[in-house]
Structure 1
């Protein structure tokens, strides 16, 4: 076991720091320097003299310095390090032709670094000063990665990397969708086929600057598919997509694997990763400090180990508590004495779009998942529930004096309007100045890692940080009804599970009511006691059915989408069935599209 200290550059805030971490280093008395402030990079640097005594960790007010205890078997497996004392990445996933390799793990553990290394955009420095191509090839000598790196550096492999930052595309690429795709590949037939495959045909004449996030995502994926590469790296390809679009994209990527391509996929939707991947790699470690790639695992075993929090091959505990799902459908707590909200048939017209909400009731203690395609009116209904929009017809009837709390879909709007406000002041403005005395504050502060963010400006936060702050502020408000519009967007798997746990715990303890609009079916299953299904023609008209128990609602939705899910016999998580498989046919015959456990006939 070796012990080293590293600095998390994202957390380190030298402008606000008294540099006690440097002044209190015990080696200063001897005239030696184990830690010093580098004026060029404006960050503390930890030297080889550091004994990892831990004093600097206790002195740092921003939790920016971490002691790494690395197993002896990892020594010599450091692939890349960002500057002196910076983030370290251990091991790389091994790509295999014709196989989709999925990466699961928290943000800031090196997923994007892995993508850039395997696409040739970053040459790994092997945590030394030697980052030559020959040194990298020599490092992997005798492994499958040696051949891959040789081909990569000799330009024998054409690589396409679909990055996660699709919002920036309109800043650099202009024009209509079909023209942009035709420039990628001047084959009208091929462009038409890809547009049809990803449901882009109706958007051909639209400008990129006019597209939504989900539409931009599909255009970026379409461009990647048209490039005819040998290696495809997809970084978060399901962001902004609804459930139907996610499976459409997954099927398109699987077709590439059938052509023998190298494919790496990084995503946070476990149901999609389970369906899409042949093999998975789990990243674990300390975000911002170090990340370790696990050995390659079968997709079912790998995801189950991740949920259980214990990696068998590595004998490594990565989470104290396992994540469990309901093996059987939860019952709906629909007692009339718990009735909190009721609505008549509602109608709302927004431009040319018309929304109809069928009459329904909602009760205290419920978490009602709202599910359906994009552009079908889910966010419009969420705004009506929160009082931000008035229905054109019908009324929403609260029982008693009901206070609403609303987390909007686009958290970036919060930063745009209130960018100069600190996180602490923003939470106080939403939840009240005494929010830290709220009984739920410790759970939120620890579970959402809020303490290091409290003095940061909203404009300085990443999408994931802003999302956590917005959810926490909404939950801390003393309300009866909570409305969350896509709370899992921008969050990694670990953060999604924490949000799910804290949300359910808070609503249960308050005996409040929550409505959650969400596309991640694994997380929707984790938090919902009931569900409300939307259907119709996206962009034209939408209809919402009354809330019903989760089993009824999901059966209804999955029938509409012509897909079936089963339960994993070990963890209870929902898993997508391949269309036409034995389990798919069996469940259709039984009219059971969502809750079905058959340990003897697991597909993989």
Structure 2
């Protein structure tokens, strides 16, 4: 009865992938989360892990680090390490765990939540890194990870990107046999993501490396093999056998595992083969001319530009170059010192940092914000269902995870009656599937409503899906930011990627963007033609 009658579906019915009858690695308790199979690190390659949030990816690498021991489903009377090894006799996993438990394998793990680092470790950056000078010195690490300016800064005063680079440095400075990186690019801009990917790739030449990553372009660039994980959030997770990286990502986007004959998503995620149209016939919704803002230590200059009615503008560039400041100026939160904004329009704003400070459920929050919009059949079909909000309705806002809070914030913004919607890093905390859903939802809502959007993000796949045009930021991070555009997608991406010094090609099967190997034939050819993103037609 409840399945048919309950508003927003309090009961979740899973009709696609299912649990296995064998290979149970771990169970936390009666009717608790269950994990099936484990991946195995291999020397000389980067092994990637790809799958949704909440299905055991972090649990798996904790077991491979020795932080947790598989209980094989016997949570009341867990087996000994000897019994665990006996159950894996004759497998690669047995050999790996045997060496791990015997102390013959040293591991190093970069944790998922770097924002918790200041609570776990007190003091300044220099003190933390000085304790782990094994593979490289403090000075070498500071230069490699761009930390020289923050060495004497307290960890509690660092930004998310700075904390990520500190955590990566602390992990790579250790002399281990196996390295685990849990979401190594969170908070980083595309420049830093590519640099981190190259460092991880270089490390794998002599070490065993395993990486959990949701940025598909970066995962494709750094991994050799990938284990796709499927399951149901909070219920179970199943690791599939490792596949070559291109095959694994294409299988993930398709939502179907051919060898296992399992469909874990009802429809594939698709990309456009060519850039969006650049010949907008609609008029200007908002224009801005010669914007300047001086904060003392940082100043921002924005050349003139406009956003067309119904247009979605992606905003790219390094961290600390003023992207968020521009969005705040357009939203009326920050006043420019010079220049003009013709913003006689209603603005909806999704900020970069979201506070869970609300005493009530998600349904209470959304109903209080815009009851008629949120309960309409149109909004339910276009936003509530694609973003999975119906499963969060009865949850307290204060208890939401980062990814859940992000999806609610995107929904709140889209539920607002406005002419232009400003999104600051909407892909943060979302897994790969949620990112693609969010990008398509924002784009689709703009197209169907005739409204406009500006989206700041660092995920190339996300920007590729959501954007019609592109603003590009540069300058000297932390000191002087320069914003230009909007440009059409081809011109904007070419301008941006030329500065990053990477080129993309399109996958022949899925049309998804793929980073070319540096100095490869394709890389050199595309650079010589100035085609960094879309191949010439």
Which category describes the TM-score, using the shorter chain as reference length? over 0.9
Q: Report if the CA contact (8 A) 1:558-1:564 is conserved.
A: yes
Q: Report if the CA contact (8 A) 1:254-1:276 is conserved.
A: yes
Partner residue in 2 for 1:449: 388
Alignment RMSD (CA, Å): 2.4
Q: CA deviation at 1:361?
A: 1.2
Q: Deviations over 1:499-547 (max 9, x none)?
A: 1111111110001100000001111111111000000000000011120
Q: CA deviation at 1:186?
A: 6.8
Q: Report if the CA contact (8 A) 1:66-1:289 is conserved.
A: no
449, 452, 470: which one pairs with 1:510?
Answer: 449
Q: Report if the CA contact (8 A) 2:280-2:308 is conserved.
A: yes
Q: CA deviation at 1:258?
A: 0.8
Are positions 1:596 and 2:535 aligned together? yes
Q: Deviations over 1:339-385 (max 9, x none)?
A: 21111110012241100110001111211000000000000001111
Partner residue in 1 for 2:315: 370
Q: Deviations over 1:432-472 (max 9, x none)?
A: 56531262233322122222322333211111111010000
Partner residue in 1 for 2:347: 404
Q: Report if the CA contact (8 A) 1:333-1:363 is conserved.
A: no
Are positions 1:216 and 2:159 aligned together? no
525, 533, 538: which one pairs with 2:464?
Answer: 525
Q: Report if the CA contact (8 A) 1:197-1:248 is conserved.
A: no
Secondary structure at the counterpart of residue 141 of structure 1: coil
Partner residue in 2 for 1:126: 72
Which shows bigger deviation, 424-433 or 450-459? 424-433
TM-score (norm 2): 0.95
Are positions 1:169 and 2:117 aligned together? yes
Q: CA deviation at 1:68?
A: 9.5
Q: 1:592 to 1:65 in 2, by over 3 A?
A: closer
Partner residue in 1 for 2:94: 146
Q: Deviations over 1:548-601 (max 9, x none)?
A: 111100100111122211111111111111211111111111111111289xxx
Which shows bigger deviation, 423-432 or 344-353? 423-432
Partner residue in 2 for 1:338: 283
Q: Report if the CA contact (8 A) 1:441-1:476 is conserved.
A: no
Q: 1:255 to 1:157 in 2, by over 3 A?
A: same
Q: Report if the CA contact (8 A) 1:384-1:391 is conserved.
A: yes
> How far, CA to CA, are the matches of 2:266 and 2:448 in structure 1?
23
Partner residue in 2 for 1:137: 85
Which shows bigger deviation, 272-281 or 80-89? 80-89
> How far, CA to CA, are the matches of 1:434 and 1:327 in structure 2?
34
Secondary structure at the counterpart of residue 204 of structure 2: helix
Are positions 1:322 and 2:268 aligned together? yes
Q: Report if the CA contact (8 A) 1:440-1:506 is conserved.
A: no
Secondary structure at the counterpart of residue 205 of structure 1: coil
Partner residue in 2 for 1:254: 201
Q: CA deviation at 1:422?
A: 2.7
> How far, CA to CA, are the matches of 2:377 and 2:15 in structure 1?
32
> How far, CA to CA, are the matches of 1:382 and 1:238 in structure 2?
23
Q: Report if the CA contact (8 A) 2:316-2:471 is conserved.
A: yes
Match runs of 1:286-365 below 5 Å: 286-335=232-281, 337-365=282-310
Q: Report if the CA contact (8 A) 1:334-1:362 is conserved.
A: no
Partner residue in 1 for 2:143: 196
Partner residue in 2 for 1:470: 409
Partner residue in 2 for 1:431: 370
Secondary structure at the counterpart of residue 575 of structure 1: strand
Q: 1:285 to 1:344 in 2, by over 3 A?
A: same
Q: Deviations over 1:164-203 (max 9, x none)?
A: 111111122122222320112278x622222211111222
Q: Report if the CA contact (8 A) 2:373-2:379 is conserved.
A: no
Q: Report if the CA contact (8 A) 2:8-2:391 is conserved.
A: no
TM-score (norm 1): 0.85
> How far, CA to CA, are the matches of 2:87 and 2:361 in structure 1?
46
Q: 1:60 to 1:363 in 2, by over 3 A?
A: closer
Secondary structure at the counterpart of residue 199 of structure 2: helix
Q: Report if the CA contact (8 A) 2:16-2:264 is conserved.
A: no
Secondary structure at the counterpart of residue 97 of structure 2: helix
Q: Which has the higher contact order (CA 8 A, sep 6+)?
A: 2
> How far, CA to CA, are the matches of 1:455 and 1:316 in structure 2?
31
Are positions 1:270 and 2:216 aligned together? yes
Q: Report if the CA contact (8 A) 1:445-1:451 is conserved.
A: yes
Q: 1:296 to 1:436 in 2, by over 3 A?
A: same
Q: Report if the CA contact (8 A) 1:333-1:365 is conserved.
A: no
Q: CA deviation at 1:423?
A: 1.7
Secondary structure at the counterpart of residue 524 of structure 1: helix
> How far, CA to CA, are the matches of 1:280 and 1:224 in structure 2?
22
Q: Deviations over 1:378-425 (max 9, x none)?
A: 000011111111111111114xx52111000001xx32xx33143223
Q: 1:389 to 1:59 in 2, by over 3 A?
A: closer
> How far, CA to CA, are the matches of 1:172 and 1:576 in structure 2?
36
> How far, CA to CA, are the matches of 1:435 and 1:70 in structure 2?
32
Runs of 5+ consecutive residues of structure 2 not aligned to the other structure: none
> How far, CA to CA, are the matches of 1:137 and 1:546 in structure 2?
59
Q: Report if the CA contact (8 A) 2:17-2:264 is conserved.
A: no
Q: Report if the CA contact (8 A) 2:472-2:486 is conserved.
A: yes
Q: Report if the CA contact (8 A) 2:181-2:210 is conserved.
A: yes
Partner residue in 2 for 1:392: 337
> How far, CA to CA, are the matches of 1:567 and 1:318 in structure 2?
25
Q: CA deviation at 1:59?
A: 13
Q: CA deviation at 1:481?
A: 0.1
Q: Deviations over 1:40-74 (max 9, x none)?
A: xxxxxxxxxxxxxx99x999974379799747xx4
In the alignment of these two chains, the number of paired residues is 535
Q: CA deviation at 1:144?
A: 1.2
